[in-house]
């Protein structure tokens, strides 16, 4: 069976094996002498033989389950479960998608889909919320990044594949659904009832803050991310009468998305040079992307907000802007997903999402399992928030290794003087966050606006001296 060659968006038994290898080595060496083949060829032949033995074992188990399981099981279900286990066992980001799941993914990356509006992942048998999407039933119901969904409509999610859990959370528009949640610092279950909606993701929002400082929030890297950023900058420039003094780009809790959109968004603020490179097992998976456009706001200071919910494409943009010294990064260390997944269509309408490369920032950093360290650390809350589940890539099981790059960002001698006076956390009596009044209750944003304003003043004074 041949797989289609088309690739889509690039958006990661030991004992038995050891014993077989120990027994096979002398035989392989003997065969190499008698048959006149090289040791490398003999090793390859031995590898093929072991593969056939494992496939024979798989066939034996498949037939036994199909014949003797307590209830009849369709061969299709057994094969799909096998494919899911094969891929999900590689790393947390590789997975098999049946035809329905593949269609759902394509719809989701287009920026419109049905459901609740949350990004989720599997976590030790439960479902962990990576982040709620702005202005969706999930965000309005108060679901938070880090929440663990333990039950859907009263039925436990333990033992339920992630794909099935996602399918259960989707359904007819206006139909109710109840989620049982385990939340940080709360010892009793949190039960949330909400109604499903068609999710129209407005991935970019903008507003003008005091002192002609533009605020741009990018919540996800869908197909409309780059055009949304461009429209937002144009709107802010118009609103400011062409006198936009600085911009704060908010990538907090942005779980990522399409690689090409990350490259395009970074290119909106970098006029030349590398944005990101990838290195994979095959030369075709090793590529480099350079800025191909122009800086939309040349000379205008840029501050980028990140946190542990900023992952994947968010980290590509943050890393590029940091390495090029085009922006000052503020907030908390990002998630640390430094791998690239390729979606490969399969016969029957399904697809597999396979980790095919690691990516590297312009300075050669691999952030896999490390994340992006902000230039100015600012915590969201006074007290450190405890997490029930993984808060970063390195907390997940069987993640791929960090290989082939450096681990730290180049020094930043260009940070503004105000950086030294930014408090690392809010005071104990700082007001609780109120989404209706973010400029006064979002401590990280308050500090970002301070830095942006100070950088704008420095730029103005430098120009005036010239």
**Residues annotated as catalytic (active site), given as ranges:** 312, 323, 337
442, two tokens: 């979002």
At residue 107, the 3 state secondary structure works out as: helix
Q: How far is CA 394 from CA 16, 125, 277, 402, in A?
A: 28, 18, 22, 10
User: For residues 137 and 68, what is the distance between their CA atoms, to the nearest angstrom?
Assistant: 44
State the chain's maximal CA–CA distance in angstroms.
85
423, two tokens: 């408090």
What residues contact 179, with CB distance under 8 A and at least 6 apart? 143, 149, 151, 152, 169, 191, 192, 193, 194
- Sign of the C-alpha dihedral computed for residues 318, 319, 320 and 323 taken in this order: positive
Q: What are phi and psi of 24, to 5 degrees?
A: -90, -20
Q: Are 193 and 169 in contact (CB under 8 A)?
A: no
User: For residues 273 and 362, what is the distance between their CA atoms, to the nearest angstrom?
Assistant: 8
Q: Are 329 and 367 in contact (CB under 8 A)?
A: no
Q: Are 178 and 191 in contact (CB under 8 A)?
A: yes
Q: Are 296 and 237 in contact (CB under 8 A)?
A: no
Q: Are 316 and 10 in contact (CB under 8 A)?
A: no
- Burial label for 397, CB within 10 Å (0-12, 13-18, 19+), is exposed
Q: How far is CA 399 from CA 105, 179, 396, in A?
A: 22, 28, 6
As a residue count, the chain comes to 466
User: For residues 371 and 395, what is the distance between their CA atoms, to the nearest angstrom?
Assistant: 12
User: For residues 453 and 245, what is the distance between their CA atoms, to the nearest angstrom?
Assistant: 8
Q: Are 324 and 273 in contact (CB under 8 A)?
A: yes
User: For residues 276 and 268, what is the distance between their CA atoms, to the nearest angstrom?
Assistant: 14
Among 125, 123, 124, 120, which Cα is nearest to 108's? 120
Among 410, 340, 334, 404, which Cα is nearest to 369's? 334
Q: How remote is the C-alpha of 47 from its chain's centroid?
A: 35
């Amino acid at each position: 069976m041949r797989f289609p060659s088309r690739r889509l968006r690039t958006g990661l038994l030991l004992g038995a094996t050891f014993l077989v290898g120990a027994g096979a080595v002398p035989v392989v060496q003997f065969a190499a002498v008698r048959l006149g083949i090289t040791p490398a060829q003999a090793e390859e032949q031995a590898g093929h033989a072991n593969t056939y033995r494992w496939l024979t074992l798989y066939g034996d188990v498949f037939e036994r389950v199909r014949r003797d399981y307590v209830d009849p099981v369709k061969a299709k279900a057994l094969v799909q479960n096998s494919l899911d286990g094969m891929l999900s066992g590689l790393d947390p980001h590789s997975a098999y998608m049946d035809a329905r799941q593949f269609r759902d993914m394509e719809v989701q990356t287009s920026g419109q889909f049905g459901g609740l509006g949350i990004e989720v992942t599997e976590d030790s048998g439960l479902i962990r919320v990576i982040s709620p999407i702005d202005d969706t039933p999930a965000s309005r119901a108060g679901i938070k990044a880090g929440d663990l969904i333990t039950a859907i409509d009263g039925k436990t999610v333990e033992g339920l594949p992630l794909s099935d859990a996602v399918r259960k959370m989707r359904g007819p528009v206006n139909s109710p659904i109840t989620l049982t949640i385990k939340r940080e610092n709360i010892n009793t279950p949190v039960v949330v009832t909400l109604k499903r909606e068609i999710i129209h993701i407005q991935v970019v929002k903008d507003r003008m803050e005091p002192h002609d400082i533009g605020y741009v929030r990018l919540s996800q890297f869908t197909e409309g991310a780059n055009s949304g950023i461009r429209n937002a900058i144009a709107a802010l420039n118009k609103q400011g009468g062409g006198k936009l003094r600085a911009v704060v780009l908010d990538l907090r809790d942005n779980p990522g998305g399409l690689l090409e959109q990350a490259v395009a968004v970074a290119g909106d603020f970098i006029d030349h040079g590398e944005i990101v490179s990838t290195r994979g097992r095959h030369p075709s998976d090793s590529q480099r992307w350079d800025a191909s456009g122009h800086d939309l706001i040349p000379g205008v200071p840029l501050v980028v907000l990140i946190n542990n919910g900023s992952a994947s494409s968010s980290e590509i943009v943050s890393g590029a802007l940091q390495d090029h010294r085009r922006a000052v990064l503020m907030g908390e260390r990002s998630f640390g997903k430094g791998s690239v997944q390729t979606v490969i269509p399969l016969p029957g309408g399904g697809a597999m999402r396979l980790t095919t490369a690691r990516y590297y920032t312009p300075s050669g950093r691999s952030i896999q399992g490390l994340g992006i360290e902000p230039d100015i650390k600012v915590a969201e809350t006074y007290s450190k928030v405890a997490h029930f589940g993984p808060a970063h890539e390195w907390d997940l099981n069987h993640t791929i290794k960090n290989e082939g790059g450096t681990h730290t960002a180049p020094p930043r001698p260009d940070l503004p003087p105000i950086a030294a006076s930014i408090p690392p956390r809010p005071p104990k009596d700082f007001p609780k966050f109120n989404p209706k009044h973010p400029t006064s209750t979002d401590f990280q944003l308050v500090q970002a606006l301070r830095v942006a304003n100070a950088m704008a003043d420095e730029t103005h004074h430098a120009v005036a001296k010239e």
